[in-house]
């Protein structure tokens, strides 16, 4: 155990790193073997884990702190916040109740407790009325019968997407305007039908004279997506794009991003690709803002249609038989192969659940140590360089490309070059001082990495449409 002065030094470095939004450094500055209450009482390491979305680590460290001092209210509070983030509301409720009992006059804890109680009640109600096989949200919905008022000042959309409509859409979104609801419904329906017909793993080649750009999470950061396109070029028939999941949630322009990506998919169905992420799922959208944004900007029907379209998205893209690209990562079983992914019927299971191939494809993360380990998020698991090596060799791959995690430089190459993370939301949630990145791939299949910085955006905070103020702490 460190001497008191050493512990205080760790604490000071952690506080300094946290104040600069250097979450990784805040954690590293404090983790030094068995650092006891002297460090844990600072609360920095727990908050930094939460900022890094390392909810599993936050829960584990909070539990350590509670084991050391069962009256430590902050640890119960942080553990509750972490469990809220991974949608374990009942576990969170127990800890909020304990924190409130220890500190009965803490107004913030009492507020979070009341909100968590409401979430648990809502979940119980939704489960009670849940239909096992609900009808399609498109069934009986007469989109074509909706009229567009003469007062609508945007471009008109016919039966096919056009570049002129996309250009007008971009201008509208930059100016804070919305699309007419009929056009929103048309776009979602068209793209649902296109992606539903695609295989679970799309297999594509980069033709001579063409280029593919692979992008990671965009998370509703519309103005940063515009910067990416400004720097790298907009999608065309010759310039392919692949967006590797997590288009929505957290950022407050999620409808703008997903509608634009869908418009490009409709315009260029053979050269614009979309993989599903863990945030293209109902449970995440209900908590992290997308459902609320759909209702605020359009209506509840919009979210239901998006939900159905998300469940139709492919889960992976195989690029030139060399790069297996998916949102999360690899599998809990070494026997899992590309053929297993090809055979996966994603249409039978609309939501990923808590186990199985779909959950692992959307949720897992790499770790530096060999083998497999528990998830730092509290969902899924982690896989080591040996797991990646065996998977690539067994399937004839050069590497796995994935997203799902902030990287301070926008991307990171791990596992001896076989695991590549790309993340395209710079200054994530306006609070993490990371760059964004994208990868260009030509016909020779060489990976060309590019980084970019965040740009200014209108004064609307991340999570503006989230379910409740619990999410503002993430």
CATH number at residue 100: 1.25.40.10
Query: Distance (Å, rounded) from C-alpha 26 to C-alpha 19?
Result: 9
Is 122 a domain residue? yes
**Tally of domains within the chain:** 2
What are the tens digits of pLDDT across the range 122-133?
A: 888 888 877 777
Identify the CATH number of the domain in which residue 346 sits. Answer: 3.60.21.10
With a cut of 80, say whether residue 30 has pLDDT above it: no
Last residue of a domain, one of 71, 106, 128: 128
297: nearest Cα among 137, 146, 457, 460: 460
Lowest mean pLDDT among 8-17, 43-52, 314-323: 8-17
Q: Kindly state whether residues 209 and 124 are assigned to the same domain.
A: no
Q: Are 267 and 161 in contact (CB under 8 A)?
A: yes
pTM of the entire structure? 0.90
Of 122 and 200, the structure prediction assigns the larger pLDDT to: 200
Q: What are the start-end ranges of the E strands in 234-327?
A: 239-244, 272-275, 316-319, 323-326
The phi, psi pair for 286, rounded to 5°, reads -70, -25
**What is the per-residue pLDDT for 468?**
62
The lowest-confidence range among 35-39, 46-50, 155-159, 169-173 is: 35-39
pLDDT, the chain, mean: 91
> Does residue 33 surpass a pLDDT of 60?
no
**Residue 194 pLDDT greater than 80, yes or no:** yes
pLDDT at 325 over 70: yes
Residue 122 contacts by C-beta under 8 Å, 6 or more apart in sequence? Answer: none
> Does 43 or 440 have the greater pLDDT score?
440
Task: Point out the domain boundary residue: 82, 107, 128.
Answer: 128
pLDDT tens readout for residues 62-81: 998 898 889 999 999 999 99
| C-beta of residue 97 within 8 angstroms of C-beta of residue 113 | yes
- 50, part of any domain: yes
Shared domain for 101 and 209, answered yes or no, is no
Task: Tell me: do 55 and 186 sit in the same domain.
Answer: no
Which has the minimum average pLDDT: 59-68, 190-199, 228-237, 327-336? 59-68
H or E element in which residue 29 lies: helix 23-30
- 17: pLDDT strictly greater than 60: no
- Asked whether residue 360 falls in the same domain as residue 408, the answer is yes
- pLDDT for the residue 364: 98
Percent over 90 (pLDDT), the chain: 78
Tokens standing for 135? 């009808």
* Structure-model confidence comparison of residues 12 and 269, the more confident one: 269
Which of 58, 53, 68, 387 is CA-nearest to residue 246?
Answer: 53
pLDDT at 132: 72
pLDDT tens per residue, range 364-395:
999 999 999 999 999 899 999 999 999 999 99
* Cα distances (angstroms) measured from residue 213 to each of 206, 243, 257, 356, 403: 10, 8, 17, 29, 14
* Inter-residue contact 96 to 113 (CB < 8 Å): yes
DSSP string computed for 205-253? ---TT-EEEEE---TT-HHHHHHHHHHH----SSEEEEEES--SSSSS-
Q: Do 109 and 254 fall into the same domain?
A: no
Q: What share of the chain is helix, strand, coil (3-state, %, to 5)?
A: 45, 10, 40
The answer to whether residue 260 sits within a structural domain is yes
In a domain, 385, yes or no: yes
Query: Residue 448's domain spans which residues?
Result: 163-473
Phi, psi (deg, nearest 5) at residue 92: -60, -40
Q: Which residue has the higher pLDDT, 65 or 225?
A: 225
Counting residues of the chain whose pLDDT is more than 70, the rounded percentage is 89
- Number of helices and strands in the chain (H, E): 18, 14
In this prediction, residues 313-339 reach a mean pLDDT of 98
> How confident is the model at residue 349, as a pLDDT?
85
CA distances from residue 465 to 50, 116, 281, 313, 373 in whole angstroms, order as listed: 20, 17, 16, 24, 34
Whole-number pLDDT of residue 15: 58
Tell me: do 119 and 208 sit in the same domain.
Answer: no
Calculate the CA 431 to chain-centre distance.
16
Co-location of 184 and 110 in the same domain:
no
The full DSSP string for 57-116 is HHHHHHHHHHHH-TT-HHHHHHHHHHHHHTT-HHHHHHHHHHHHHHSTT-HHHHHHHHHH
The string of pLDDT tens digits covering residues 424-449 is 999 999 999 999 999 999 999 999 99
Task: Out of 80, 112, 128, pick the residue that ends a domain.
Answer: 128
Residues 372 and 225 in one domain: yes
Q: 317 forms bridges with which residues in the sheet?
A: 202, 325
SS3 of 299, please? coil
Higher pLDDT, 468 or 400: 400
Backbone phi, psi, residue 100, to 5° = -70, -35
In a domain, 325, yes or no: yes
368 CB burial (10 A radius; 0-12, 13-18, 19+): exposed
Domain assignment of residue 426, yes or no: yes
> Tokens in use for 410?
């926008």
Do 11 and 75 lie in a common domain?
A: yes
Q: Which residue did the predictor score with more confidence, 106 or 133?
A: 106
Distance CA 327, CA 341 (A): 13
Residue 78 lies in a domain: yes
Q: Are residues 410 and 293 in the same domain?
A: yes
pLDDT confidence tier of residue 291, bands split at 50, 70 and 90: very high
Q: Which residue has the higher pLDDT, 29 or 322?
A: 322
86, 252, 405, 419, 429 from 461: Cα distances, Å? 22, 7, 21, 33, 8
Give the per-residue pLDDT at 133: 76
172 and 41 within one domain = no
> One of 49, 192, 268, 279 is an active-site residue; which one?
279
Catalytic-residue membership of 279: yes
What digits encode the pLDDT tens for the residues 127-150? 887 777 788 999 999 999 999 999
Angle among Cα 46, 42, 426 to the nearest 5 degrees reads 45
Sheet of 436-441, strand order = 272-275, 239-244, 211-215, 436-441, 447-452
Q: Do both 373 and 285 map to the same domain? A: yes
- Give SS3 for 413: strand
Q: If you average pLDDT over residues 209-221, what whole number do you get?
A: 98
Q: How confident is the model at residue 200 (pLDDT cuts 50, 70, 90)?
A: very high
Beta carbons of 418 and 424 less than 8 angstroms apart = no
Q: What is the pLDDT of residue 32?
A: 46
Averaged pLDDT, 455-468: 90
Q: Residue 153 domain-assigned?
A: no
């Amino acid at each position: 155990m460190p001497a008191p002065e050493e512990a205080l030094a760790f604490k000071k470095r952690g506080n300094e790193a946290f104040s600069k939004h250097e979450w990784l450094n805040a954690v590293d500055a404090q983790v030094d073997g068995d650092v006891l209450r002297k460090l844990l009482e600072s609360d920095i390491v727990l908050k930094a884990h939460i900022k890094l979305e390392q909810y599993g680590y936050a829960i584990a460290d909070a539990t350590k702190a509670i084991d050391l001092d069962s009256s430590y209210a902050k640890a119960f509070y942080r553990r509750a916040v972490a469990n809220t983030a991974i949608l374990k509301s009942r576990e969170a409720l127990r800890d909020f109740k304990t924190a409130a009992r220890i500190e009965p006059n803490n107004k913030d804890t009492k507020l979070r407790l009341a909100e968590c109680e409401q979430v648990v009640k809502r979940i119980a109600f939704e489960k009670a009325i849940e239909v096992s096989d609900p009808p399609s949200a498109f069934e009986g919905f007469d989109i074509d019968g909706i009229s567009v008022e003469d007062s609508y000042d945007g471009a008109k959309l016919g039966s096919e997407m056009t570049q002129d409509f996309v250009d007008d859409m971009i201008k509208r979104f930059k100016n804070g305007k919305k699309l007419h609801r009929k056009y929103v419904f048309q776009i979602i329906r068209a793209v649902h039908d296109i992606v539903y017909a695609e295989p679970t793993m799309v297999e594509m080649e980069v033709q001579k004279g063409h280029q593919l750009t692979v992008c990671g999470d965009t998370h509703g950061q519309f103005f940063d997506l515009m910067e990416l396109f400004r720097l790298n070029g907009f999608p065309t028939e010759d310039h392919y794009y692949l967006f590797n999941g997590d288009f929505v949630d957290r950022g407050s322009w999620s409808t703008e991003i997903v509608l634009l990506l869908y418009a490009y998919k409709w315009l260029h169905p053979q050269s614009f690709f979309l993989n599903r992420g863990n945030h293209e799922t109902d449970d995440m959208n209900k908590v992290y803002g997308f459902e609320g944004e759909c209702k605020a900007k359009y209506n509840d029907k919009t979210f239901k249609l998006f939900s159905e379209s998300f469940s139709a998205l492919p889960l992976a893209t195989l690029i030139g038989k060399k790069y297996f690209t998916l949102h999360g990562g690899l599998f809990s079983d070494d026997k899992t192969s590309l053929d297993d992914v090809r055979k996966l019927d994603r249409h039978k299971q609309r939501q990923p659940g808590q186990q199985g191939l779909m959950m692992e494809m959307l949720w897992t993360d790499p770790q530096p140590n060999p083998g497999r380990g528990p998830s730092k998020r509290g969902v899924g698991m982690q896989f080591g360089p040996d797991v990646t090596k065996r998977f690539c060799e067994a399937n004839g791959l050069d590497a796995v490309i994935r997203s799902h995690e902030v990287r301070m430089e926008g991307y990171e190459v791990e596992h001896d070059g076989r695991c590549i993370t790309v993340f395209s939301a710079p200054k994530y949630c306006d609070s993490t001082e990371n760059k964004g990145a994208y990868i260009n791939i030509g016909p020779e299949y060489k990976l060309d990495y590019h980084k970019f910085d965040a740009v200014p955006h209108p004064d609307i905070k991340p999570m503006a449409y989230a379910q409740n103020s619990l999410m503002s702490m993430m």
